[in-house]
Amino acid sequence: MRTKWMLEDDLLPGVSDFPVKPVNAITFHPNTVPDYLTAHYWWAYIHPNAVRFFERQWLVNLILLGNYARLRNAALMEIGESLPGTTLQVACVYGDLTNCLSERATRGGGSIDVVDVLPIQLKNLRNKLPVGSPARLLAMDAMDLKLPDAKYDRALVFFLLHEQPREWRERTLSEVIRVVKPGGKIVIVDYARPHWWHPLRYLFPILLARLEPFALDLWREEIVRWLPGWCATRARKRLFFGGLYQLVVTTAEKGAGSGCGQRPCPVAVRVRLRDSFAARRSKASIISANIAVKTRDATTANSGLLNS
Protein backbone atom coordinates (compact mmCIF):
# COMPACT_ATOMS: atom_id res chain seq x y z
CA MET A 1 0.00 0.00 0.00
CA ARG A 2 1.35 3.40 -1.00
CA THR A 3 1.45 6.04 1.70
CA LYS A 4 0.12 9.52 1.07
CA TRP A 5 3.51 11.15 0.72
CA MET A 6 4.31 8.83 -2.22
CA LEU A 7 1.19 9.96 -4.08
CA GLU A 8 1.42 13.72 -3.74
CA ASP A 9 0.89 15.36 -7.12
CA ASP A 10 3.20 18.26 -6.31
CA LEU A 11 6.14 15.85 -6.26
CA LEU A 12 5.74 15.29 -10.00
CA PRO A 13 7.56 18.10 -11.86
CA GLY A 14 5.82 19.45 -14.92
CA VAL A 15 7.61 20.29 -18.13
CA SER A 16 7.36 24.00 -17.42
CA ASP A 17 9.25 23.55 -14.14
CA PHE A 18 12.55 22.59 -15.75
CA PRO A 19 15.31 25.23 -16.04
CA VAL A 20 15.56 24.43 -19.74
CA LYS A 21 12.48 23.03 -21.42
CA PRO A 22 13.24 19.35 -22.04
CA VAL A 23 12.52 17.81 -25.37
CA ASN A 24 11.68 14.38 -24.03
CA ALA A 25 10.77 14.78 -20.34
CA ILE A 26 8.76 11.94 -18.90
CA THR A 27 6.74 12.00 -15.69
CA PHE A 28 6.38 8.52 -14.26
CA HIS A 29 3.46 7.33 -12.15
CA PRO A 30 4.74 6.45 -8.65
CA ASN A 31 4.07 2.74 -9.30
CA THR A 32 6.92 2.69 -11.81
CA VAL A 33 9.50 3.40 -9.10
CA PRO A 34 11.67 0.25 -8.87
CA ASP A 35 10.75 -2.08 -6.04
CA TYR A 36 14.27 -2.15 -4.64
CA LEU A 37 14.11 1.61 -4.06
CA THR A 38 10.84 1.53 -2.16
CA ALA A 39 11.95 -1.53 -0.19
CA HIS A 40 15.46 -0.46 0.80
CA TYR A 41 15.95 3.27 0.18
CA TRP A 42 12.66 4.98 1.02
CA TRP A 43 14.36 6.41 4.12
CA ALA A 44 17.13 8.03 2.08
CA TYR A 45 15.61 9.21 -1.20
CA ILE A 46 11.83 8.87 -1.38
CA HIS A 47 10.29 10.26 1.81
CA PRO A 48 10.11 14.09 1.79
CA ASN A 49 11.64 14.22 5.26
CA ALA A 50 14.58 12.19 3.97
CA VAL A 51 15.27 14.72 1.23
CA ARG A 52 15.11 17.61 3.68
CA PHE A 53 17.38 15.79 6.12
CA PHE A 54 20.09 14.53 3.77
CA GLU A 55 20.36 17.61 1.57
CA ARG A 56 23.14 19.09 3.68
CA GLN A 57 26.66 19.42 2.35
CA TRP A 58 28.28 18.70 5.70
CA LEU A 59 26.14 15.59 6.19
CA VAL A 60 26.99 14.19 2.77
CA ASN A 61 30.65 14.77 3.57
CA LEU A 62 30.21 13.02 6.93
CA ILE A 63 28.58 9.99 5.29
CA LEU A 64 31.58 9.74 2.97
CA LEU A 65 33.93 10.08 5.94
CA GLY A 66 35.20 13.49 4.91
CA ASN A 67 35.86 12.49 1.29
CA TYR A 68 32.98 14.14 -0.57
CA ALA A 69 34.93 17.14 -1.88
CA ARG A 70 37.90 14.98 -2.83
CA LEU A 71 35.76 12.49 -4.77
CA ARG A 72 33.65 15.23 -6.37
CA ASN A 73 36.74 17.13 -7.49
CA ALA A 74 38.39 13.99 -8.84
CA ALA A 75 35.30 13.22 -10.93
CA LEU A 76 35.07 16.82 -12.16
CA MET A 77 38.76 16.82 -13.09
CA GLU A 78 38.17 13.78 -15.29
CA ILE A 79 35.04 15.34 -16.80
CA GLY A 80 36.86 18.57 -17.64
CA GLU A 81 37.16 22.22 -16.56
CA SER A 82 35.00 23.39 -19.45
CA LEU A 83 32.18 21.28 -20.88
CA PRO A 84 31.12 21.99 -24.45
CA GLY A 85 28.54 19.73 -26.03
CA THR A 86 26.29 17.51 -23.95
CA THR A 87 26.94 15.88 -20.57
CA LEU A 88 24.83 13.20 -18.90
CA GLN A 89 24.58 12.75 -15.12
CA VAL A 90 22.93 9.48 -14.19
CA ALA A 91 20.87 9.94 -10.99
CA CYS A 92 20.60 12.95 -8.71
CA VAL A 93 22.99 13.24 -5.80
CA TYR A 94 22.90 15.20 -2.57
CA GLY A 95 25.43 18.00 -2.35
CA ASP A 96 26.70 20.48 -4.94
CA LEU A 97 28.03 18.11 -7.62
CA THR A 98 25.41 19.05 -10.22
CA ASN A 99 25.85 22.75 -9.53
CA CYS A 100 29.57 22.34 -10.29
CA LEU A 101 28.76 20.47 -13.50
CA SER A 102 26.33 23.21 -14.47
CA GLU A 103 28.99 25.89 -13.95
CA ARG A 104 31.42 24.00 -16.17
CA ALA A 105 28.78 23.48 -18.84
CA THR A 106 28.01 27.21 -18.79
CA ARG A 107 31.72 27.95 -19.12
CA GLY A 108 31.99 25.69 -22.15
CA GLY A 109 28.72 26.68 -23.79
CA GLY A 110 27.35 23.17 -23.31
CA SER A 111 24.41 21.59 -21.52
CA ILE A 112 23.77 18.79 -19.03
CA ASP A 113 20.98 16.27 -18.71
CA VAL A 114 20.25 14.71 -15.32
CA VAL A 115 18.11 11.58 -15.24
CA ASP A 116 16.47 10.11 -12.17
CA VAL A 117 13.53 7.77 -11.62
CA LEU A 118 12.31 9.71 -8.56
CA PRO A 119 10.42 12.96 -9.27
CA ILE A 120 11.05 14.17 -5.71
CA GLN A 121 14.79 14.02 -6.33
CA LEU A 122 14.41 15.99 -9.55
CA LYS A 123 12.30 18.57 -7.73
CA ASN A 124 14.99 18.88 -5.05
CA LEU A 125 17.67 19.33 -7.70
CA ARG A 126 15.60 21.92 -9.55
CA ASN A 127 15.45 23.96 -6.34
CA LYS A 128 19.24 23.78 -5.98
CA LEU A 129 20.17 24.84 -9.49
CA PRO A 130 20.43 28.56 -10.28
CA VAL A 131 18.01 30.22 -12.66
CA GLY A 132 19.21 29.86 -16.22
CA SER A 133 21.26 26.75 -15.56
CA PRO A 134 21.90 24.85 -18.82
CA ALA A 135 20.33 21.71 -17.39
CA ARG A 136 17.45 19.43 -18.29
CA LEU A 137 15.96 17.21 -15.60
CA LEU A 138 14.49 14.02 -17.04
CA ALA A 139 12.40 11.50 -15.12
CA MET A 140 13.41 8.04 -16.29
CA ASP A 141 15.00 4.85 -15.01
CA ALA A 142 18.75 4.56 -15.53
CA MET A 143 18.34 0.99 -16.77
CA ASP A 144 15.83 2.09 -19.43
CA LEU A 145 17.04 5.43 -20.80
CA LYS A 146 14.63 6.83 -23.35
CA LEU A 147 17.41 8.69 -25.08
CA PRO A 148 18.95 8.41 -28.56
CA ASP A 149 22.09 6.40 -29.23
CA ALA A 150 25.41 8.28 -29.14
CA LYS A 151 23.81 11.51 -27.90
CA TYR A 152 26.27 12.59 -25.19
CA ASP A 153 29.91 13.63 -25.24
CA ARG A 154 30.48 12.32 -21.69
CA ALA A 155 28.64 10.75 -18.75
CA LEU A 156 29.01 10.69 -14.96
CA VAL A 157 27.71 7.96 -12.63
CA PHE A 158 28.31 9.10 -9.03
CA PHE A 159 27.58 6.63 -6.20
CA LEU A 160 24.70 4.90 -7.97
CA LEU A 161 25.90 1.38 -8.78
CA HIS A 162 26.22 0.21 -5.16
CA GLU A 163 22.53 0.91 -4.62
CA GLN A 164 21.32 -1.23 -7.50
CA PRO A 165 20.68 -4.97 -7.78
CA ARG A 166 23.07 -6.65 -10.19
CA GLU A 167 20.58 -6.78 -13.10
CA TRP A 168 19.82 -3.07 -12.76
CA ARG A 169 23.52 -2.27 -12.47
CA GLU A 170 24.52 -4.16 -15.60
CA ARG A 171 21.66 -2.70 -17.59
CA THR A 172 22.47 0.83 -16.39
CA LEU A 173 26.06 0.54 -17.58
CA SER A 174 24.91 -0.84 -20.94
CA GLU A 175 22.51 2.06 -21.35
CA VAL A 176 25.14 4.64 -20.43
CA ILE A 177 27.54 3.16 -22.98
CA ARG A 178 24.78 3.18 -25.59
CA VAL A 179 23.96 6.88 -25.23
CA VAL A 180 27.58 8.14 -25.12
CA LYS A 181 29.25 9.01 -28.40
CA PRO A 182 32.14 6.85 -29.63
CA GLY A 183 35.25 8.09 -27.87
CA GLY A 184 33.20 9.84 -25.18
CA LYS A 185 34.38 9.56 -21.58
CA ILE A 186 32.43 7.71 -18.89
CA VAL A 187 33.34 8.46 -15.26
CA ILE A 188 32.14 6.22 -12.42
CA VAL A 189 32.65 6.89 -8.69
CA ASP A 190 31.58 4.38 -6.05
CA TYR A 191 32.61 2.15 -3.15
CA ALA A 192 35.37 -0.45 -3.39
CA ARG A 193 36.91 -3.05 -1.11
CA PRO A 194 39.52 -1.30 1.07
CA HIS A 195 43.03 -2.59 1.66
CA TRP A 196 43.51 -5.34 4.23
CA TRP A 197 44.95 -2.93 6.79
CA HIS A 198 42.00 -0.51 6.60
CA PRO A 199 39.96 -0.77 9.85
CA LEU A 200 36.72 -0.19 7.96
CA ARG A 201 37.34 -3.32 5.93
CA TYR A 202 36.08 -5.28 8.93
CA LEU A 203 33.53 -2.82 10.32
CA PHE A 204 31.89 -1.38 7.20
CA PRO A 205 30.32 -4.63 5.94
CA ILE A 206 28.13 -4.74 9.04
CA LEU A 207 26.69 -1.31 8.20
CA LEU A 208 26.42 -2.00 4.48
CA ALA A 209 24.68 -5.32 5.02
CA ARG A 210 22.08 -3.50 7.08
CA LEU A 211 21.51 -0.37 4.99
CA GLU A 212 22.93 -1.11 1.52
CA PRO A 213 22.07 -4.75 0.66
CA PHE A 214 23.69 -4.62 -2.79
CA ALA A 215 26.77 -2.53 -1.97
CA LEU A 216 29.06 -5.43 -1.09
CA ASP A 217 28.86 -6.55 -4.72
CA LEU A 218 31.48 -3.85 -5.33
CA TRP A 219 33.70 -5.49 -2.72
CA ARG A 220 33.47 -8.87 -4.44
CA GLU A 221 33.78 -7.80 -8.07
CA GLU A 222 35.44 -5.09 -10.12
CA ILE A 223 33.23 -2.60 -11.94
CA VAL A 224 34.97 -3.52 -15.20
CA ARG A 225 33.42 -6.99 -14.87
CA TRP A 226 30.06 -5.40 -15.67
CA LEU A 227 31.35 -3.53 -18.73
CA PRO A 228 31.52 -4.95 -22.27
CA GLY A 229 34.97 -6.34 -23.03
CA TRP A 230 35.91 -3.66 -25.53
CA CYS A 231 34.99 -0.99 -22.98
CA ALA A 232 36.59 -2.75 -20.00
CA THR A 233 39.98 -2.93 -21.73
CA ARG A 234 40.10 0.87 -21.86
CA ALA A 235 39.16 1.34 -18.22
CA ARG A 236 41.50 2.69 -15.57
CA LYS A 237 40.91 2.84 -11.84
CA ARG A 238 42.06 5.11 -9.04
CA LEU A 239 41.54 4.34 -5.36
CA PHE A 240 40.86 6.76 -2.51
CA PHE A 241 40.89 6.62 1.29
CA GLY A 242 42.74 3.34 1.61
CA GLY A 243 40.78 1.74 -1.21
CA LEU A 244 37.29 2.32 0.23
CA TYR A 245 36.32 4.43 -2.78
CA GLN A 246 37.15 4.07 -6.45
CA LEU A 247 37.03 6.18 -9.58
CA VAL A 248 36.78 4.25 -12.84
CA VAL A 249 37.22 5.98 -16.19
CA THR A 250 36.54 4.41 -19.56
CA THR A 251 35.59 5.50 -23.06
CA ALA A 252 33.08 4.35 -25.60
CA GLU A 253 34.52 2.55 -28.60
CA LYS A 254 36.26 4.59 -31.32
CA GLY A 255 36.16 3.59 -34.95
CA ALA A 256 33.43 1.12 -35.80
CA GLY A 257 35.53 -0.47 -38.51
CA SER A 258 38.64 -1.36 -36.53
CA GLY A 259 39.26 -4.55 -34.64
CA CYS A 260 35.90 -6.21 -35.27
CA GLY A 261 37.62 -9.50 -35.77
CA GLN A 262 39.17 -9.46 -32.31
CA ARG A 263 36.28 -8.08 -30.26
CA PRO A 264 32.57 -7.34 -30.74
CA CYS A 265 32.03 -4.74 -33.42
CA PRO A 266 30.76 -1.51 -31.81
CA VAL A 267 27.94 -1.20 -34.34
CA ALA A 268 26.77 -4.72 -33.58
CA VAL A 269 27.07 -4.10 -29.86
CA ARG A 270 25.00 -0.95 -30.08
CA VAL A 271 22.32 -2.78 -32.06
CA ARG A 272 22.16 -5.49 -29.41
CA LEU A 273 21.97 -2.92 -26.64
CA ARG A 274 19.14 -1.06 -28.35
CA ASP A 275 16.23 -3.36 -27.50
CA SER A 276 12.68 -2.52 -28.45
CA PHE A 277 10.65 -0.52 -25.96
CA ALA A 278 8.37 -3.48 -25.28
CA ALA A 279 11.29 -5.81 -24.66
CA ARG A 280 12.86 -3.41 -22.20
CA ARG A 281 9.63 -3.00 -20.31
CA SER A 282 9.15 -6.76 -20.20
CA LYS A 283 12.65 -7.30 -18.84
CA ALA A 284 12.17 -4.56 -16.26
CA SER A 285 8.97 -6.22 -15.06
CA ILE A 286 10.68 -9.60 -14.72
CA ILE A 287 13.61 -8.08 -12.83
CA SER A 288 11.29 -6.15 -10.55
CA ALA A 289 9.33 -9.31 -9.76
CA ASN A 290 12.54 -11.06 -8.70
CA ILE A 291 13.86 -8.28 -6.44
CA ALA A 292 12.68 -9.97 -3.23
CA VAL A 293 14.56 -13.15 -4.14
CA LYS A 294 17.70 -11.22 -5.05
CA THR A 295 17.51 -9.29 -1.81
CA ARG A 296 17.45 -12.52 0.19
CA ASP A 297 20.40 -13.80 -1.84
CA ALA A 298 22.33 -10.58 -1.20
CA THR A 299 21.61 -10.76 2.52
CA THR A 300 22.79 -14.37 2.65
CA ALA A 301 25.96 -13.54 0.70
CA ASN A 302 26.63 -10.55 2.94
CA SER A 303 26.39 -12.77 6.00
CA GLY A 304 28.90 -15.15 4.45
CA LEU A 305 31.29 -12.27 3.75
CA LEU A 306 31.01 -11.06 7.34
CA ASN A 307 31.79 -14.54 8.63
CA SER A 308 34.80 -14.99 6.34
Q: How confident is the model at residue 230 (pLDDT cuts 50, 70, 90)?
A: confident
Q: Whose CA is closest to 162, among 28, 297, 41, 1?
A: 41
Q: Are 134 and 112 in contact (CB under 8 A)?
A: yes
Q: How confident is the model at residue 32 (pLDDT cuts 50, 70, 90)?
A: confident
Query: If you average pLDDT over every residue of the chain, what do you get?
Result: 82
CA 58 to mean position of chain CA atoms: 22
- The strands making up 135-139's β-sheet, listed across from edge to edge, are 135-139, 111-116, 86-90, 152-158, 180-191, 245-251, 236-240
At 168, is the secondary structure helix, strand, or coil?
helix
Q: How far apart are CA 308 and CA 297, in angstroms?
A: 17
Q: How confident is the model at residue 304 (pLDDT cuts 50, 70, 90)?
A: low
Domains and CATH numbers, the chain: 14-307 (3.40.50.150)
Render pLDDT for 192-217 as a digit per residue (tens, 0 to 9): 999 999 999 999 999 988 899 999 99
Predicted confidence at residue 221, as pLDDT, reads 96
Bridge partners of 112, per DSSP, are: 87, 135
